[in-house]
Structure 1
Amino acid sequence: MGQQRIGRIQWGDLTFGPGSPYMVTAINGLDDMPDIRAEDIARPDQHGDYTGPDTTGARIIQLGLGLRADSPDELRKLTLALRAATQPQRQPQPLRLLDQDTLVYGKVRQRNIPYDAEYLWRTGTAALELYCADPHLYSLTEHSASTTAYSPAAGRTYPLTYTGAVPGRMYGDAGQSGRLTAINDGASPAYPVLRIDGPVANPSIEQVTTGGGLVIDGTLQPGEYLVIDTRTRAVLLMGSSPRRSWVRAGSTWPLLQPGPNSLAYRGSALPGASGQPSLLTVTWRDTSL
């Protein structure tokens, strides 16, 4: 459970907050709602508007820091380390609020480290501004759930057993063959990453909770896998070779709504490989705005 105090914040190799020489003095924009992009149109010759769905713009996070050192030389080292860690970026990087179970992706767009000769002995201040093109707030924990395919052609089911865990990832139970439940504990829809491991022909993923489904017109041999990123709509064979054309026209890209989401996985067994299970793995983070 998150707590009201900010606690520790990690940016790259630097940690701000308790136990570090960088004290967090203020943070703005984290719990605020980003600017709304409204789709409202005035009603001709009538009072009011026609209103469409509200979407948000980027999130702007402002972070105030206090620097604490034992000597002017050490204070200078803290300043240089902070400067080195906040260079212009090509891609967003994770900002982790370790005690709030919150993750955002941003770029440092402003950095202010004032020099005050009257007070600059062992203490200093700094201000950072992060531009988060993706305004969502994610859980630090990455959740994952898997199931084998229900294959009418094979006429069999394959129970799944976990033998270990990956640090930082929470696993759901496998449930019955061909079905899994993904629980999004956030307040906004989450974009899952789907991995399909062969052997399987024409796999499909049905979102039972909301209807609709994603159908792949392709075949995966034993040892082959397909990664589907529902946010970017990238479909990659073996994680690198584009196969976007395999997505059948009219398919619906799954979104995990807040709360439990039931997904059904089906596929056709390959000749000679009916005894080998195909596996669907769904990975996501709790998501809010």
Structure 2
Amino acid sequence: MTTLTKQPRIELAPWQFEIGGIVLGNGTHIPIGNIEGLGSPATRPQDVDNPTGDGTFPGQDFYGIRTLRFEAGIKTPGDPAMAADLLARLELALDDPGARTRPEGRHVLRGRWPGHRTRRMYGRLRRAEATSTTTAINGWIPLDVEFVGTDPRWYDDEPSHLTLGLDQATKYKSPDRTVDQALCAPAGCDPADPLDRPGWITNYGNVSTWPSIRVHGPIANPRIWNTVTGRVLELGLSLRAGEWVEMETRPGSCWVLRNGKVNVANDLTPRSRLDLFAIPRGRSEIGWSGDDPTGTARLEASWRSAYTAL
């Protein structure tokens, strides 16, 4: 996912938010008075009117955008030049072409609620307006800041990672072959040792999340599955040593690139749905297979636990 220009990660304290390297909230020069939009995101109901009578036929309710509006202000008593500089930095974050003019472009809003670790949201910074300049000479500029979350979920700021070699994956069976090894040990057996199941992954959030997956060659016909959801990704191609394929599964930004350049989405089999290859909440397991006589191929996956709230 394309984001604003990369910057060093800033540690946030509770009640602080950050976008484009600018920190707002408690203990900063941009205190926040109120935040709107931290509840449920807007819905996109798919209801259909009853053509022969009153009422409608209910359809699926999808989430739309999540609009967060910050009533804030730049507060630098006796230093109007510093206030103007902070306002200019906010305007620069809004103006970034990489996030503003490209369809895949996204800003990243980071925030921290008391008792939680820092989480992030992907979307667009749509407004950073000084609502008054009458007190600017004293270093006080009231602000109206609006961030639109095009993905309404919150995600862990720190990603999780998994690296899995084919030699580690041989003990797992695909979900559509004979009997899969169960995630839970049978009654009367000793519990499975986590070290013996290197494909275990954990989504600590309360909703499903979307992984990024990279397969490194040499390998032919790689096949990846999740033992809990039963979803499968299959690629009918061969990779030499030093080559890789990267798959992004997030709906709205799904793609498959070879060596970071060549689109090989057509090499996916019909049953391979990137937009459905989600990691469920809690613990699940990734397995994979392929043809590699050298035993050096590897799979890398990264994901961020997903939440409905900050």
TM-score range, shorter chain: 0.7 to 0.9
Distance verdict in 2 for CA 1:60–1:187, change over 3 Å: same
Farther off after superposition, 31-40 or 78-87: 78-87
In structure 1, stretches of 5+ residues that fail to align are 158-172
Q: In the alignment, what sits opposite 1:117? A: 134
CA distance in structure 2 between the aligned counterparts of 1:287 and 1:229, rounded to whole angstroms = 16
| Equivalent pair of 2:83/2:136 in contact (CA under 8 Å) | no
CA distance in structure 1 between the aligned counterparts of 2:85 and 2:45, rounded to whole angstroms = 46
CA distance in structure 1 between the aligned counterparts of 2:261 and 2:255, rounded to whole angstroms = 10
Q: CA deviation at 1:176?
A: 4.3
Select the structure that is richer in helix.
2
- Find runs of 4+ consecutive structure 1 residues off by over 6 angstroms: 43-48
The one-letter code sitting in structure 2 at the alignment partner of 1:244 is A
In structure 2, stretches of 5+ residues that fail to align are 1-12, 173-192
- Count the aligned residue pairs: 262
CA distance in structure 1 between the aligned counterparts of 2:85 and 2:168, rounded to whole angstroms = 62
User: Is 1:264 the counterpart of 2:287 in the alignment?
Assistant: yes
**SS of aligned partner of 1:223:** coil
CA distance in structure 2 between the aligned counterparts of 1:136 and 1:25, rounded to whole angstroms = 23
Distance verdict in 2 for CA 1:70–1:42, change over 3 Å: closer
| Among candidates 120, 124, 130, match of residue 107 of structure 1 | 124
Q: CA deviation at 1:87?
A: 2.7
| Among candidates 86, 111, 124, match of residue 97 of structure 1 | 111
| Equivalent pair of 2:203/2:281 in contact (CA under 8 Å) | yes
CA distance in structure 1 between the aligned counterparts of 2:49 and 2:171, rounded to whole angstroms = 58
Percent identity among equivalent residues?
A: 21
Distance verdict in 2 for CA 1:151–1:200, change over 3 Å: farther
TM-score w.r.t. length of structure 2: 0.74
TM-score w.r.t. length of structure 1: 0.79
Distance verdict in 2 for CA 1:176–1:203, change over 3 Å: farther
Q: CA deviation at 1:134?
A: 1.9
**SS of aligned partner of 1:115:** coil
| Equivalent pair of 2:212/2:247 in contact (CA under 8 Å) | yes
Matches within 5 A, 1:1-289: 6-29=14-37, 31-41=38-48, 50-71=57-78, 72-87=80-95, 89-90=100-101, 91-98=105-112, 100=116, 101-117=118-134, 120-150=137-167, 175-176=195-196, 180-231=199-250, 232-253=253-274, 254-270=277-293, 273=294, 276-289=295-308
**CA distances 1:72-125 after superposition (whole Å, capped 9, x unpaired):** 343333333333333362222111115652101222222321335368523231
CA RMSD, aligned part only? 2.9
| Equivalent pair of 1:150/1:267 in contact (CA under 8 Å) | no
